[in-house]
A and B are shown apart, each in its own frame.
Chain A
Amino acid sequence: MGKSKVSNTIRRLRFDHDEMTQAQLAEKVGVTRQTIVAIEKANYAPSLELAFLIARAFNQPLAEVFSYDDD
């Protein structure tokens, strides 16, 4: 499995936001639920625009949602 070096805290943030579903987040940022699943599992690194949209959906700065793992 090709894991991306971009990890994220989307799962925790969804939980903190009244257990927002993947489908709700997908609708909010304008992608399919499968894309949210792939991002959450770090199988897919989103574009910068989508990353900003996801961070905005949680009212968080980008660095709180995404981080780059160097190892």
Chain B
Amino acid sequence: MSHQEKRIIVSLITSILVFIFYGMFMREMYLDGYLSTQKADSIVGKSIFALILLSIVVSVVAQIVVSIILTMVTGERTNFFSDERDKLIELKGMQITLIAFSIGYLGSMALLATGTAAYLVFILIIFSMFIGSTLGDIGRLYFYRRGF
């Protein structure tokens, strides 16, 4: 398995873990009744900022930790070099992410238009981002496994 594939797997696992954590946090908020108050939109807005920060930090830390562990176990230094095929696969993954996110975003806007609560629509947009990023990672893994 190439370094790129390992990096994608780490990214996939961290985004799933972060989203599970976010989902549990929002569930607690919902059960405690915070999302039925007037402050619901503000809470969701703050939680989105926290989610973005958390996912960046967790992702960077996880990549560094995994690189160190792999270097210690295999003795090979992690190669961050990417060539033309890596860049094309990256673009294809990005395309999948954007298509999935756009579908989710349009669906969320349709729900907003039919009177769904704004905080729920924001959560759906975040969910679309997660699904888009996950599908993009899976797509990249598929292209690496296939060769291109």
A residues near B (Cβ < 8 Å) are 1-2, 4, 30-32, 34-35, 37-38, 41, 43-44, 46-47, 50
* A31 touching B146, Cβ below 8 Å: no
Interface centre among A35, A37, A41 (most CB of B within 10 A): A35
Contacts of B85 in A (CB 8 A): 31-32, 34-35, 38, 44
B residues near A (Cβ < 8 Å) are 2, 4, 79, 81-86, 144, 146-148
B102 CB, nearest partner CB in chain A, Å: 25
* A44 touching B86, Cβ below 8 Å: no
Decide: A43 near B84, CB < 8 A? Known: A32-B2, A34-B2.
no
CB-CB nearest in chain A for B82: A32
B144 CB, nearest partner CB in chain A, Å: 7
* B84 touching A41, Cβ below 8 Å: no
B109 CB, nearest partner CB in chain A, Å: 35
Contacts of B148 in A (CB 8 A): 2, 4, 38, 43-44
> What are 15 sample pairs from A and B whose C-beta atoms fall under 8 A apart?
A1-B146, A1-B147, A4-B148, A31-B84, A32-B4, A32-B79, A32-B83, A34-B2, A34-B4, A35-B85, A38-B147, A43-B147, A43-B148, A46-B84, A50-B84
Contacts of A35 in B (CB 8 A): 83-86
* A2 touching B146, Cβ below 8 Å: yes
Contacts of A41 in B (CB 8 A): 147
Contacts of A38 in B (CB 8 A): 85, 147-148
B143 CB, nearest partner CB in chain A, Å: 9
Contacts of B144 in A (CB 8 A): 34
Interface centre among A4, A31, A50 (most CB of B within 10 A): A31
* Assembly CA distance A4 to B48 (angstroms): 43
B8 CB, nearest partner CB in chain A, Å: 13
* Assembly CA distance A35 to B144 (angstroms): 10
* Assembly CA distance A32 to B144 (angstroms): 12
* Assembly CA distance A47 to B83 (angstroms): 11
